[in-house]
Each structure stands twice: as C-alpha cells, then as structure tokens.
Amino acid sequence: MARHGITLSALLSSLLLAVAAQADEVQVAIAANFTTPMQQIAAEFEKDTGHKAVLSFGATGKFYAQISNGAPFEVFLSADDETPARLEKELLIAPQSRFTYAIGKLVLWSAKEGYVDAWGEVLKAGEFRHLSLANPKTAPYGAAAIETLKKLGVLERVEPRFVQGENIAQAHQFVATGNAELGFVALSQVYKEGKITSGSAWIVPANLYTPIRQDAVLLARGKNNRAATTLLDYLKSGKARAIIKAYGYELVKTN
C-alpha cells in the first residue's frame, strides 16, 4: 500500500509538472474600452487553459506606435479595424489572423442621475461647463464622438468645453470623478447585463458615427507562442462571446 501510495503521488506530481511545463504566457495589448470584459475573459482563459494573459490597456493609436517600434506584444485587441489592417499591410501580424471580436457602441454619459436625457438634447442645451472625450487622434471612440458632434451640428459650440483624455478610460474617469459633467465613453464602461449601471446616459444612435469594428490580431512576435494562438481561439468561444455581449457589444456572426 505504501509503495502504491508513493507511485500515485509521483504520478500526480509528474502530471502537474507536465501541465505547468505546457502553460505559457502571452503579452496582450488591449484598447482601453475593453478593460473590464478582457479582465474577466483572461481569468476564465487561465482557468480553462492554464495559460496566462499579461494585459496592458491603452489607446489604440499609442499601441500602434509601440508595436511599430518593436514593443514585445504578441496579441493586439484594437478599438478599430483600420489599425490592425495597417499593421497587416506592414507585415507586423501573422497572415490571416485578423478578425472582429466586438462591435463597440458610443454613449453620452453623466455620473449624475437624470442629467443626460434619452435623446441627447443636453448637448444642444449646452448647460454644462465640461464635456469629456478621448483623444480623437489616438482613440477610435474619441473619433466617433467628434463625428457625432459634427452630425448633430454642435461641434463648434461645444468644442471649447472639451476635457480630453489620453484614452477612453481617462475620458470615463473625468466624468466619474465630476471633473466633467458629462462625456462620450464606451457603452461597455457603464453597462452590464442589459442596463446602465450608474448615472444617466444616451446611447448614441449607430447612424451618427462610423461602426466601431474592433479587430484582434496575432502579432508577428507571437506566431510561435501557443498561448497567443490559444487566446485568439478562446476569444471566439461561447464563453468569451457571452462576456463580450454582457457589456453591450454587438457580435459578428461566426460560421
């Protein structure tokens, strides 16, 4: 019995060592709007596969510059489809790895209950001192905000009141802390399981801005990393897609 027990223990130890040996890490650059969903997905990914995703969040444009300059990222989850397409043309991604993992939605949000009406008329009324948005040069949600204001015909009137964040996370922070009465943020930052989680909001109609198709790619540096390819496959799984949908993103149909 003792000899059998030792054998079983040794077997379990060798199995655990084998699993540990097969587990890898993947360095992931993620657009700031996708912070909370990706944190959840990464936790499930590690539980289900043993691989660890090391996450970095920021503005899409800044990540493009970093990747172009050799930053050690292996997977990139962009806030648009133009930046990954650009990286593809520059041969900085693995061929045929690009796909849309989510379609984002823009929302005008205030931390104050009842401040933003259901039609966005608060923008035309103009009774606010500060309007927060992400830098439109580096953040696709910021560009969508500018596009919306132009179509509403209020850009010139409200532009002097802009409080500009480096990325959408900072734009949200300005509103959450009261430094701006309202701001354009990603719906995923203020939405969970079918409802706005705090404050008041106007979900901007999709016809006011170009669709925010968010693409994921396997960067050239990660093409031989099993954790990187496994993560991209995992993003297409039912579990990951359910998390993405819970934060208000639209999903692209899969085959």
**Please, what are the domains in the chain?**
2-103+212-246 (3.40.190.10), 106-203 (3.40.190.10)
CA 17 to CA 12: how far, in whole Å?
Answer: 9
Classify residue 222 by its DSSP letter. Answer: G
The letter for the amino acid at 49 is T
The owner of tokens 């920021």 is 58
pLDDT, residue 193, reads 83
Contact call for residues 54 and 28 (beta carbons, < 8 A) = yes
The owner of tokens 């993003």 is 235
The dihedrals phi and psi of 99, each to the nearest 5 degrees, come to: -155, 160
Contact call for residues 166 and 159 (beta carbons, < 8 A) = no
The tens place of each residue's pLDDT in the chain, 255 residues long, gives 444 445 555 554 444 444 444 679 999 999 999 999 999 999 999 999 999 999 999 999 999 999 999 999 999 999 999 999 999 999 999 999 999 999 999 999 999 999 999 999 999 998 999 999 999 999 999 999 999 999 999 999 999 999 999 999 999 999 999 999 999 999 999 998 889 999 999 999 999 999 999 999 999 999 999 999 999 999 999 999 999 999 999 999 865
Task: List all residues 6 or more positions away from 3 whose beta carbon is below 8 Å from its beta carbon.
Answer: none
The dihedrals phi and psi of 218, each to the nearest 5 degrees, come to: -90, 115
CA 16 to CA 104: how far, in whole Å?
Answer: 40
pTM: 0.87
The owner of tokens 């580096």 is 138
